[in-house]
């Protein structure tokens, strides 16, 4: 049985973003042929952060990178193995101020580029590529075009 929700032509243009974070290692996301891989500056930098916060980081970074290329009305489907984050994206609500800060940044990006958002939860075993990306370290000497501004991450690698 396929666990992904299907979106049809009546939904308009659709972009599916797969993302994940791996504890104190890093994060990854993939969308429309773009791959994002990043690491936390240190385990201590994210030690007090929730898994939900860590998993919203690659979503925000991917949207920062790819949103300017999307047409107004595009449905950005955030595919995550974090059920709480799928709920947050669909409801616009978060359990903590730090989680809401990341969620609000995602919602602001969607509003600025006139995107629609949908959270789509999948079991971990259906999110293996993003999980693998979250455990990689960026290639030495490569830097991203943007940074997170939260001092918890190193600049991610965008391919």
Domains within the chain, CATH numbers bracketed = 12-158 (3.30.420.10)
pLDDT band at 154 (very low <50, low <70, confident <90, very high): low
pLDDT at residue 159 tops 70: no
Question: Please, are residues 41 and 149 in contact by the beta-carbon 8 Å criterion?
Answer: no
> What is the pLDDT, as a whole number, of residue 30?
85
CA geometry: angle at 79 spanning 51 and 92, to 5°? Answer: 70
Residues 27 and 80: their CA atoms lie apart, in Å, by 12
Residues in the chain: 159
Contact assessment for residue 61 and residue 38, using Cβ atoms and an 8 Å cutoff: yes
Helix axes 97-112, 51-66, angle to 10 degrees: 20
């Amino acid at each position: 049985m396929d666990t992904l929700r299907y979106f049809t032509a009546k939904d308009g243009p659709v972009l599916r973003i797969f993302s994940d974070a791996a504890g104190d290692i890093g994060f990854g996301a993939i969308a429309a042929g773009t791959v994002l891989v990043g690491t936390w500056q240190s385990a201590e930098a994210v030690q007090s952060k929730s898994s939900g916060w860590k998993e919203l980081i690659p979503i925000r970074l991917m949207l920062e990178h790819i949103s300017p290329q999307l047409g107004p009305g595009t449905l950005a489907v955030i595919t995550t193995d974090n059920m709480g984050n799928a709920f947050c994206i669909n409801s616009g609500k978060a359990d903590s101020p730090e989680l809401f800060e990341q969620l609000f940044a995602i919602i602001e990006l969607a509003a600025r580029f006139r995107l629609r958002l949908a959270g789509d939860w999948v079991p971990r075993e259906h999110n293996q590529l993003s999980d693998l990306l979250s455990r990689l370290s960026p290639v030495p000497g490569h830097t991203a075009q943007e940074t997170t501004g939260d001092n918890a991450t190193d600049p991610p690698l965008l391919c």
